[in-house]
Structure formats: C-alpha cells, structure tokens
Amino acid sequence: MKYVSTRGGGQAVNFSDILLEGLARDGGLAMPEIMPQVSADMLEQWRQLSYADLATEVLSLFITDIPKDDLHQLAHKSYNKQAFGSDEIVPIKKLDDQISLVGLSEGPTLAFKDMAMQFLGNIFEYVLAKRGATLNILGATSGDTGSAAEYALRGKKGIKVFMLSPFGRMSEFQRAQMYSLQDENIFNLSVKGVFDECQDIVKALGNDLAFKEHYHLGAVNSINFGRISAQVVYYFWAWLRVTSQSDEQVSFTVPSGNFGNILSGHIARMMGLPIRHLVVATNENNVLEEFFRTGIYRPRSAANTYATSSPSMDISKASNFERFIYHLLDSDGTKVKALWDSLAQQGEFDLSTMKPLFEEKYGFVAGMSTHADRLATIKHEFEQHGYLMDPHTADGVKVAREHLEEGVKMLVLETALPAKFTETIQEAIGQPAPIPEHLKGLKNLPQRVDVVDCDVEVVRKYMQERI
C-alpha cells in the first residue's frame, strides 16, 4: 500500500513515511493510492475478534511496510483493559430502540481521540526506534486532541510534543488535563486566538519545508493519516456488534468539527462496510452542514467563529474536508490543488452541481444543533433513558433523531464523557457531571503552560529554543 498527496505532488510513499511527515510536501494530505476492500466473508470472519485483533486486521490493510506480527503487538499494547477500563474497549450503549451510542470515551482522557492516539503513540515510538530518528510533534487542539496526544506520547523516547490551544476557549477540565502534565517532553502553548488560527500556525510551519526537515516536524492532528486509519477500526467494530448479516446497512451520526472522525467512516464505507448514511452533526459553526446542504464551502474567519458549549467543534476550517473533496473529484490531485488555490483567493468554492453525489454516491447528509438544542437533548436523554451525555454527543443525538429511517439502526459516535464539560451539564440538568474517582483532584494540580501571541514566528522561536 502506497500513499499519495491530495494535491498530486511528489511520489507515492509507504505508510511509515507519511506517519512521520504530517502535511505532504505540496501542502496536501496523504491518502491511500488505492482504497483497500473488504468482502462479506472477511466481515463474517471478523465477528468474534477482540478489538485489538480487529485493529490488527483492519490496519494491516493500510500498513503494509510493517510486519503483521509487529502490528499485532502494537495493537495489543494500545487496546487493553489497563488503558480502557475493560476488555470490551468500545462498548455499544443502547439509548432506545432506534439509537445506540458507540462508546469511544473509555480511554485515559475520556474522549474519542484516545482511540487513535494510543495506537499512534506506540507506532511512532516503534518506527522512530527502527530508524534511529527523533520527531518533534507540532499540533493544535480545540480541546480533546491535545490531552489525548499528550497522554499517549508523554515519556516516549525520541519525541517532543508542542501543542497549541486557543486561549480561554476550552473547558476548565480540558485545560487541567493538558496543562497539569509535567513531563519534560510535553510543551503546552496557549495561543491568543481561536482554534482555526492555531491550526493555521501548524500548517504554516508544516509547509516551511526547510524548517520541517531541519527540526523533524511531525503531526498528531487528524491531518496525520495514521489517526484516520486507526479510527476506521471502530466503525467496523460497531457494525459487527449490532448486525447479524453481512449485507445489513446501518447509519452513523458523527459530531464533527475538523471532519476527521466522520472521514474515517467515509473510508470504511468506501472499503465496503455496509453504511447507509453518514450524518454530519455540527454546532453553530455549521460550515460543513452548509456545504452538504448547499454545495457551497464557505469557511469563516476567526472573528466569525462562535465560542459554543460544544467547544471541540468550534472550527470553521475543517482540515480533513480536503480528503473527501479528493474522492469527490475522482482522486484528481490537480483539480484539488486548483480548488484550494481558488479557495485561498476567493474565500469559498461552489460544488453545488455535484450535490446529488453527496448522498447518492457517498451517503452524506447533515444537520446542526444549537446551545438550546444540546441542553434539551442532555436533559431529555438523562430523564427518559438515564444516560448522561456530553454536549458534543448531544449535538449528535439531536441531529441523529432528524435522520432516522425505518429498519435502519442509527449509531451515534460518543465523543467524550460529560465530566469534561460539567458547566454545561449543570445548566442542562441542575447538577454537575460526576467525575471519575481517579480524576477528582485534577483541577487542583499545578499547571505548566505558556501563553503566547497568535504569531507563526513566536511559535517558531519557542520551538527552536526547546528542541
């Protein structure tokens, strides 16, 4: 399996190369040259596998330059009871006869990002050891990626992590999770800006090829295909848990900001997993919902990106969206590059003539949720079904109920546990979210963070002084 850039530049390379690279040299994103396919027989053979064994099978389709026995060891090192609290790893939580939640928040930082990050941390260390190399991770987080990456990479040999987060835009719990880490290889930068601006800095430094190569820059954001591939696994896992026949279709609803989580579902569907609809659920920053409704992609400025009560989705420039457009344009990197060049000049692009393909060919539909919606959903699900969910998952459930179809199971990807957003939970149900016993003293721990200006050169200098 080789990987190419969404913008058509450069040669096809192995997985280990794109794992360590982040952005491609031409500014594009790595994608499989040919999408691996699964058959009905393969799906049936996978039904009784443990999560780690299923991960081995799925990931071996994407990672062909690492021996399968080594992948097996990496998967079992990543997905185990010690890290996720039970042998199940990803429980399916039935809300009612129509909707079930895919429990992706059982990991060390209580968010779905752990599902990919635990594997990414281990495979990074493996590849670097094989090559005798080092890596400096530069990432941006709107809340959960940062802590999941830092917990997965803390103390790893040959790796330093520089994580940008938007000043004042994360919950108190999210800040405490990240900033309380005291490991010498972890650096937190609180940037005076919004997430999109943090992401812009990461991309600017990633596109500076001389800087990138001299300082061995890598990425853990979902621009890294290693994360996308690891997330594909739980779509197969969830489908295998709720179906009985190899051709049974289910739909997935995914709370989405950066488009990485639902992109993994798109890839699973293209591989042959029987998915009927991929439902994109956004908050008030509904750039993606607007695109799937109208065909017009119109990212917003930082000033026009709302601060909401589902802060991890306060994103107006979805990094992984380019990967879907690559498929929409028949994997033509030249067309993708031209479209993104136009986007840089015009601030938007119009693919409304292709709108019928969104659902008919790729299964995408979309909806949005507001602050009032998520409060009402949290309250309703808690009172009616005894289930307390975080605000992002509530966005998903609200939108999922608008896209239910007779005879088609709906699975909503849970994105985090409510303890991370206790202020919103208090507003919704009149009481704070319970905090897991082992995290009750988290907010009282000393915090280690540097507040910096929203400036590429400030971040560049910060890194140079610490690498």
pLDDT at 420 over 90: no
Q: Give mean pLDDT, residues 261-281.
A: 98
% the chain with pLDDT above 90: 85
Would residue 156 show up in a list of annotated catalytic residues for this protein?
A: no
> Which amino acid, 143?
G
Confidence of residue 377 (pLDDT cuts 50, 70, 90): very high
Q: Which of 19-23, 24-28, 46-50 ranks highest by mean pLDDT?
A: 46-50
* pLDDT at position 439: 82
Chain Cα centroid distance, residue 229: 11
Query: Which of 77, 113, 212, 337 is the catalytic position?
Result: 113
Q: Give mean pLDDT, residues 205-211.
A: 92
Alpha helices per DSSP H over 106-245: 113-131, 144-153, 172-179, 195-206, 209-214, 225-242
pLDDT at 23 over 90: no
Its CATH architecture, for the domain 92-110+225-429, is 3-Layer(aba) Sandwich (3.40)
Burial 375-413 (b: 16+ CB within 10 A, else e): bebbbebbeeeebbbbbbbbbbbbbbbebeeeeebbbbb
Chain Cα centroid distance, residue 431: 29
* pLDDT at position 28: 94
pLDDT at 444 over 80: yes
In tens, the pLDDT along 66-82 reads: 999 999 999 999 999 99
* pLDDT at position 144: 77
Q: Considering only residues 378 and 177, tell me which one the structure prediction assigns the higher pLDDT.
A: 378
Confidence of residue 25 (pLDDT cuts 50, 70, 90): confident
In tens, the pLDDT along 426-436 reads: 999 999 999 88
Question: Whose CA is closest to 374, among 410, 398, 339?
Answer: 398
Confidence of residue 437 (pLDDT cuts 50, 70, 90): confident
* pLDDT at position 163: 95
Question: Across the chain, what does the average pLDDT equal?
Answer: 94
pLDDT at 441 over 90: no
In tens, the pLDDT along 149-191 reads: 899 999 898 999 999 999 998 888 889 999 999 999 999 999 9
Confidence of residue 438 (pLDDT cuts 50, 70, 90): confident
Cα separations in angstroms, 235 against 60, 190, 246: 16, 33, 14
Q: Give mean pLDDT, residues 303-319.
A: 91
pTM of the predicted model, to two decimals? Answer: 0.92
